[in-house]
Amino acid sequence: MNKPGILDNVRIVLSHTSHPGNIGAAARAMKTMGLTSLYLVNPKRFPNNQADVMSAGAQDVLENAVVCSSLDEALQGTALAVAITARSRDLSHAAVTSRQAAPQIMEHALAHKVALVFGTEMSGLTNEEVNKCQMLASIPSDQEFSSLNLAAAVQVMAYELRMALPDTGLAEPKIRDFAALEDIERFYQHLEQVLVEIEFLDPQEPKRLMQRFRRLFSRTRLEREEVNILRGVLAAVQKS
Amino acid sequence: MNKPGILDNVRIVLSHTSHPGNIGAAARAMKTMGLTSLYLVNPKRFPNNQADVMSAGAQDVLENAVVCSSLDEALQGTALAVAITARSRDLSHAAVTSRQAAPQIMEHALAHKVALVFGTEMSGLTNEEVNKCQMLASIPSDQEFSSLNLAAAVQVMAYELRMALPDTGLAEPKIRDFAALEDIERFYQHLEQVLVEIEFLDPQEPKRLMQRFRRLFSRTRLEREEVNILRGVLAAVQKS
């Protein structure tokens, strides 16, 4: 697959952005690195003149932006969602640097849609939003002044992806048939249901165990056939 | 030498900047990566309220900025000046990427002052300015849309310098409590047994499916507690 093809599979998702100028600046940052797919979850103001001005010629990215009413909607059809966050979080996610994340993201983007999810200017992503992602990436920064401008963070991540484009020559990266996130969600629902039926789930704390399972399977990046197998096992348990 | 020491030796030089907002945004970008030394060659408007606003807390970088009337003045005392440029130039300079430049810059910064020189928003650096530098670094970008915002370019270069620090200082690697391999083997045996009991395993090809499960769980690097949970689920299935 050619390079533009890979980058076309990368979706930049901006959640609840306050300043339209940042949306425009993010569009420009994306386009300089060859990214064009922009999703906006409940932007405060969009479309907006300030966004157009700051895009500085990346008007097409703004015009083709998809405005969504929820993060779920913005993640539809993706096989990997990466939360970009400055704060270190006490969550059960694989946390990597922007640089470590890039090749993994590009591996997915070879044949699947992937999303990079950015939170608001003031407070970043909510825990609920982070939980919908399978990977957590942080841009290394000064501990006492760690808050990058939103568009600057988009610029750094887009830059890292471009730098991670597969070079011609070396071993062809193997294309893996990753499962769609909505199918993985259906698997979790099915799993929870079966765990209740076999009375394994602690009714006092059902969420906690499910969180452990999410963590386990998020690390492994389930493939489509694997989800089918796992659901087959669950169905067999229900019939037995 | 400690990290701040190295980064203190790096000077960001902005030549003939038109928009004060870009100066403020550049100051913010610098500070997020631990850079504080800003030199301004004939800025169009400075100090300026828009610069203050865009610095978003990097006010100290602006207050300590050195305003110069020539590039020569801004390069005083440096041992290396690196021109940051998007355009490819027919000049007799060593031209490298931002990533290739970073470790070389940091090597100099160990014991010397170094300067990264950025030109105007519209036309970049003049040939005369580039000629005063010893190295020419370009940020890889889309050929048809290669013009990064000035502060975004500062952000990427500052980020590369920080990543070239001996240690990025990001999240302490979390020590995970991995399961012992023999416990994982016992889990596989237990899993195979349960799959037979619920009649999910193809008796013709039992090994093939187990191989799939091994592949799935090998990728995830199971932790001890996770193996306990999984075996607990298997036991619950057997009791149900």
ipTM here: 0.80
**Closest Cβ–Cβ partner in B200, B236, B237 for A232:** B200
SS (H, E, C) A82-148: EEECCCCCCCCCCEEEHHHHHHHHHHHHCCCEEEEEECECCCECCHHHHHCCCEEEECCCECCECCC
Cα–Cα distance for residue pair B125/B106, rounded to 1 Å: 22
**Closest Cβ–Cβ partner in B58, B152, B237 for A198:** B237
Whether the per-residue pLDDT at A25 is higher than 90: the answer is yes
Residues in chain A: 240
Nearest-Cα distance to chain B for A231, in Å, is 11
- Among chain A residues, the shortest Cα distance to B169 is held by A140
**Residue from B3, B97, B99, B145 whose CB has the most chain A CBs within 10 Å, to mutate:** B145
**Residue from B149, B175, B184 whose CB has the most chain A CBs within 10 Å, to mutate:** B149
Is A181-239 in CATH node 1.10.8.590? yes
Chain B residues near residue A233 by CB distance under 8 angstroms:
195, 198, 200
Q: Which residues pair with B117 in a beta bridge?
A: B13, B83
SS3 A226: helix
Whether the per-residue pLDDT at A115 is higher than 70: the answer is yes
- E-strand spans in B139-187? none
CATH of range A3-163; options 3.30.450.20, 3.30.2320.20, 2.60.40.10, 3.40.1280.10 = 3.40.1280.10
Whether the per-residue pLDDT at A26 is higher than 70: the answer is yes
Whether the per-residue pLDDT at A49 is higher than 50: the answer is yes
Indicate the pLDDT class of residue A168, thresholds 50, 70 and 90: very low
- Count the helices and strands in chain A (H runs, E runs): 11, 7
> What residues contact residue B95 under an 8 Å CB cut-off, 6+ apart?
B88, B89, B136, B137, B138
- What would the mean pLDDT of A79-84 be, rounded to a whole number? 94
**Closest Cβ–Cβ partner in A148, A219, A220 for B32:** A148
Which pLDDT score, from 0 to 100, does residue B170 have? 53
Q: Look at B147 and A34 and tell me if their CB atoms are within 8 Å.
A: no
Chain B residues near residue A219 by CB distance under 8 angstroms:
219-221
More confident residue, A65 or B128: A65
- Among chain B residues, the shortest Cα distance to A225 is held by B212
Indicate the pLDDT class of residue A202, thresholds 50, 70 and 90: confident
Which pLDDT score, from 0 to 100, does residue A169 have? 46
Chain B residues near residue A99 by CB distance under 8 angstroms:
163
CB A147 within 8 A of CB A121: no
Whether the per-residue pLDDT at A197 is higher than 70: the answer is yes
Whether the per-residue pLDDT at A182 is higher than 70: the answer is yes
Domain ranges of chain B: 3-163, 181-239
More confident residue, A207 or A235: A235
Cα–Cα distance for residue pair B4/A231, rounded to 1 Å: 53
What average pLDDT does the structure give for chain A? 90
Max Cα-Cα span within chain A: 63
Closest CA to B108 of B215, B223, B8, B9: B9
Nearest-Cα distance to chain A for B92, in Å, is 25
Which pLDDT score, from 0 to 100, does residue B207 have? 81
More confident residue, A43 or B221: A43
Which pLDDT score, from 0 to 100, does residue A71 have? 97
Q: Look at A145 and B32 and tell me if their CB atoms are within 8 Å.
A: yes
- What would the mean pLDDT of A58-62 be, rounded to a whole number? 97
Q: Look at A99 and B163 and tell me if their CB atoms are within 8 Å.
A: yes
Indicate the residue type of B178: F
Q: Look at B139 and A146 and tell me if their CB atoms are within 8 Å.
A: no
Q: Look at A142 and B34 and tell me if their CB atoms are within 8 Å.
A: yes
Structure tokens at A182: 């909505």
Nearest-Cα distance to chain A for B53, in Å, is 12
Indicate the pLDDT class of residue A90, thresholds 50, 70 and 90: low
Q: What is the pLDDT along chain B (240 residues), one digit of tens a residue?
A: 345 589 999 999 999 999 999 999 999 999 999 999 999 999 999 999 999 999 999 999 999 999 999 999 999 988 889 999 986 665 555 678 999 999 989 988 988 899 999 999 999 999 889 988 888 999 999 989 999 999 999 999 999 999 998 765 555 556 678 888 789 889 999 999 999 999 998 777 778 888 889 888 887 778 899 999 999 999 999 998
pTM comes to 0.81
